[in-house]
Amino acid sequence: MKTAFTEITNGKPTERAAIPHLPFPDFRREALAIVQGGGRVVHFFGYEESDAVKLMAVLRDDDRLLAAGCDAPEAYDALTRECEPFHMFEREIAEQFGIRPEGHPWLKMVRYHPNYRSAPDVFGNDYGEDIPGRYDYYAVDGEEIHEVAVGPVHAGVIEPGHFRFNCIGERVLHLEIHLGYQHRSVEPLLTGNDYRRWPIIVEGIAGDTAIGHGLCMAQAVEGLTDLEVDAGARISRTIALEFERIANHVGDLGALSGDVAFLPPANYCGRMRGDFLNMSLWMCGNRFGKGLVRPGGVRFPMTDEDRKVLTGRIDELQPQVAHVIGLLFGTSSVRARFDGCGAVSRSDAGHLGLVGPAGRACGLPYDARRVFPTENYRRLSIPENAEPTGDVYARAKIRGDEVLQSIDLIRSMLRNPVETAIIEEWPKDFAPGAVVATVNEAWRGEVSHCLITDDAGKVVRYKIKDPSFHNWNGLAMSLRDTGISDFPLNNKSYNLSYCGFDL
């Protein structure tokens, strides 16, 4: 497809002058054409420069990342009116910069904070008031309609968020998910502080995705400072990302089993998840992999002894994991609850822009490890996973399959003894006037960071996108016409990040 957007490479900086800066109408038309033609939104965000707000979009089609920018009008015709995947991004721009997308069908705040340039507030909020301010919950009218409000503090050891169900009897007509309670202002915290704090901050964007976000940051800095990462470090980082995937998937399969009252896998998976976290602990001293990845490589070596220990543990665990997954999917009472529950159609998944296992469960096979490979993924063969049914079963099945695939990937990498240099120093001198976007497939799906530097090489904009930014609306869609008692089951099948969304 011919487009005014320009192709950029994952992790490689592009001179800002080489990225088309279009008149707004052209930018709008071209962006819509790409996404309406089957493309997806990776980033669409605002940034401030010499007191003016500019917009930048990074889109993807089948195998390319495409970027362009424009000056931001104070108000403009919302892209979402014609193309739903822009929905969350336009709300975020409105909240961060006070730019109004006219005619946006669902123009509500995202995280509840004053905008960055003290412009008039798009939502009419006074932020002296507690969250949610002037937030209009969607309400269904009718004599027998009732609402159920849950959160922000939930009944388990989990993060906060507010869920508002409109029900008729036990049937949910609509679920509105309202977040923002976890907002820590991560993006301005990064640009406003010493680079030395970056690794520690990004590992806390979502602690269960410390490697995913850590890699996006490290690759962006490596791109901007032209730093080579040795082959051993690339393997260690890939192993760490796969351990993160396995631990989270295994934990969630156990939680799903617990939610349908089949307790054996719930307990076994809880324990086995810990065994995988303990392998991250073995690699770097932290169960979540915090402290392992840094720009330039890794902080801990992978010795022959490490390879031997990890291989031994995996050899012991692999059959246990396979048998428990077999037990879960082979139990008819489990299948009876998973099958058909919370189904999202492939077409809806496309409109919502679902990514990761949530998207693959709806028949969208996109996996950044295959399409935009980083680290060691170019040397690995990542199977194409897709399930047609879009229900709890499909989401669980994808995750179960990925666990076993990832175990094989790690085993194959552990057979490959490659020396690793240990790095500790922070690189200097970022490329001036550059844009870099990094994309990785973490366990929830596409994680991406996009950095823009000024003429002096200072990072003026650090944009973060967690896959949960795409996927929370998938959970809301799953609940349409579903019994309210199936909410926990659906929620666990996605297990989305509150803090990754709230930033």
Partner 1 sequence: MLNTLRNRFEQGYRTSAYPKEPIELPARYRGRPVVNPDASGDDAVQCAEACPQAAIDAENRTVDMGRCVFCGYCERLSDGRFVSFTQDFELGTADRTHLITAGDLPDLADHSERHFRKLFGRSLQLRQVSAAGCNACEADLNVLATPFFDLARFGINFVASPRHADGIVVTGPISRNMKTALMETYDATPAPKVVIAVGACAISGGPFYGSPEVSEGLESLLPVDLFIPGCPPHPLTNLHALLTFFK
Beta-carbon contacts of residue 65 (< 8 Å; ≥ 6 apart): 7, 8, 9, 10, 42, 58, 59, 372, 437, 439
CB of 382 to partner 1, least distance (A): 26
The nearer residue to partner 1, 66 or 447, going by C-beta atoms, is 447
Pairing of strands 434-442, 297-298: unpaired
Q: Which stretches of 98-243 are assigned E, i.e. beta strand? A: 100-102, 145-150, 162-168, 171-178
Question: Phi and psi of 3, rounded to 5°?
Answer: -150, 155
Q: What binding mask, one character per residue, do residues 4-43 give for partner 1 by CB under 8 A, x or -?
A: ----------------------------------------
Q: What binding mask, one character per residue, do residues 167-196 give for partner 1 by CB under 8 A, x or -?
A: -------------xxxxxxx-xx--xxx-x
The nearer residue to partner 1, 159 or 242, going by C-beta atoms, is 159
Residues 423-482 that bind partner 1 (CB under 8 A): 424
Residues belonging to the chain: 503
Question: Does 264 interact with partner 1 (rule: CB under 8 A)?
Answer: yes
Question: Does 496 interact with partner 1 (rule: CB under 8 A)?
Answer: no
Residue from 19, 206, 253, 396 in contact with partner 1 (CB under 8 A): 206
CB of 275 to partner 1, least distance (A): 9
The nearer residue to partner 1, 119 or 201, going by C-beta atoms, is 201
Residue 305 to residue 188: CA distance in whole angstroms: 42
Question: Does 288 interact with partner 1 (rule: CB under 8 A)?
Answer: yes
Residues 81-110 that bind partner 1 (CB under 8 A): none
Burial class (CB in 10 A: 0-12, 13-18, 19+), 173: middle
Q: Which residue in 407, 473, 360, 485 sits closest to 250, CA to CA? A: 407
CB of 416 to partner 1, least distance (A): 21
Residue from 140, 145, 158, 421 in contact with partner 1 (CB under 8 A): 158
Q: Contact 258/178 with Cβ under 8 angstroms?
A: no
Q: Where are the alpha helices (DSSP H) in 285-388?
A: 304-330, 332-338, 346-352, 356-360, 368-371
Residue 53 to residue 69: CA distance in whole angstroms: 11
Question: Does 252 interact with partner 1 (rule: CB under 8 A)?
Answer: no
The nearer residue to partner 1, 109 or 235, going by C-beta atoms, is 109
Residue from 80, 438, 491, 497 in contact with partner 1 (CB under 8 A): 497
Question: Which H helix or E strand runs over 248?
Answer: helix 231-259
CB of 134 to partner 1, least distance (A): 15
Question: Does 205 interact with partner 1 (rule: CB under 8 A)?
Answer: yes
Residue 50 to residue 252: CA distance in whole angstroms: 47
| Buried/exposed code over 212-222 (b: 16+ C-beta within 10 A; e: otherwise) | bbbbbbbbbbb
Residues 359-418 that bind partner 1 (CB under 8 A): none
Question: Does 112 interact with partner 1 (rule: CB under 8 A)?
Answer: yes
Residues 208-227 that bind partner 1 (CB under 8 A): 208, 210
The nearer residue to partner 1, 8 or 131, going by C-beta atoms, is 131
How big is the site for partner 1, counted in residues (CB under 8 A)?
Answer: 72
